[in-house]
Chains A and B, each alone.
Chain A
Amino acid sequence: MAEHALEPEAMEPEATRRSFVNWLLGTSAGAFLVAVFYPVGRYLVPPKAGESAAASVTLPVKPADVRPNTGQIFKFGNRPGILVRTPAGELRAFSAVCTHLNCTVQYRADIGHIWCACHNGHFDLSGQNIAGPPPRPLDSFVVNVRGTQIVVSKSA
């Protein structure tokens, strides 16, 4: 009887430890399952992606390789940009999307400014629409030269 009388008291601390370990393992298993299946769920049903939020881009060209009175198209997110080195040697960048019907503009060395082939729209080296149907200027970007890199950023 003495043994039986002692048994509940002897069991008490062991039951507490067991329940604690069980609780710990149970929650760990739950966390494990969430950690496994949540990424799977997000992978299979990804969030909606909007337009590229790229705020700046480093161009794959060195400043020294861009000759005066030339321009080249670069990728800015999904959209084209145009980098121009003016005859005076200044680097400028604009969105290359024509403000008329979204064609890609280009630099024409023969006339010394930016031109859209679709409807003969002209933009000067400040991006201003100067002839043809484009209704407003090209969006301008900020150009920074960092050593041998050209970094183009959206205007603040």
Chain B
Amino acid sequence: MKHLLSAADLDREEALTLLDTAEELASVTDRAVKKLPTLRGRTVANLFFEDSTRTRLSFEAAAKRLSADVITFTAKGSSVSKGETLKDTALTLEAMGAQVIVLRHHASGAAQRLAESGWIGASVINAGDGTHEHPTQALLDAYTLRQHLRGGSGDLQGLRVVIVGDILHSRVARSDVALLTTLGARVTLVAPPTLVPVGVESWNCDVTFDFDDALSDADAVMMLRVQSERMNAAYFPSAHEYSRRYGLDSMRAAQLPDHAVVLHPGPMNRGMEITAEVADGHRALIVDQVANGVSVRMAVLYQVLSSEEGAA
């Protein structure tokens, strides 16, 4: 695997290999010395054009546990801040010896563009591109679901996953639909009609506007963050109405089957899409997701860098 650009690019075998690798690497985390020598002498560059402390820290921790050197570049700028172009920054990091560039960018397709434009020769890992994809998030979600609902091995055949919230702008939703269905899960998207993408009928999933309809047979519910800027753009009348219709509170959580779990990619708006009671409750795997994120990112870095060795 030279790059990881999109969860939609992963077939079942590749996805399972990554999850199994993550499982093996996770055992490192249980050791007294949490480090493997695997990527010693390799350089991983984190290139973050968008604020994302948790994803950046997760990749940093993953790289360091595999003994890679890490250089990090963060620019808070938006597309209008012309000072830091993607091309120039990537060239700079490659010149500093980066073999892998972990890219978070506000432009959809930025990771694919970086990988295919011929600007650089390094591998590219998509750490979230605009409203397109966030494949390592999908991997950690799949990993977490497998761990809790499938005994930590195999695929997700027959699992019913409900994803709720701003589907339109969510790279997590796109990646999750792609990966979870590749692994055999059935995904239902829940959102107000204004936050459902045009053409969603062609996605490999169900869509409903009524959250309560989707609760009773769900094995897992994934709540998406609602960005504050959506509130003023007529997607829904008020935060209050949104949370009443699409928020997960303890009343709704009580309608879930006993075994059902609750996920959230973070950061949460407590009281908006999820109440504190549910977020901190016994179903919530939100902290597990963070821990698992490090393991799957170790697996991705390992796969990408070992393919480079094979090619050389």
Does A pair with B? no
Name A residues whose Cβ lies closer than 8 Å to a Cβ of B.
none
Name B residues whose Cβ lies closer than 8 Å to a Cβ of A.
none
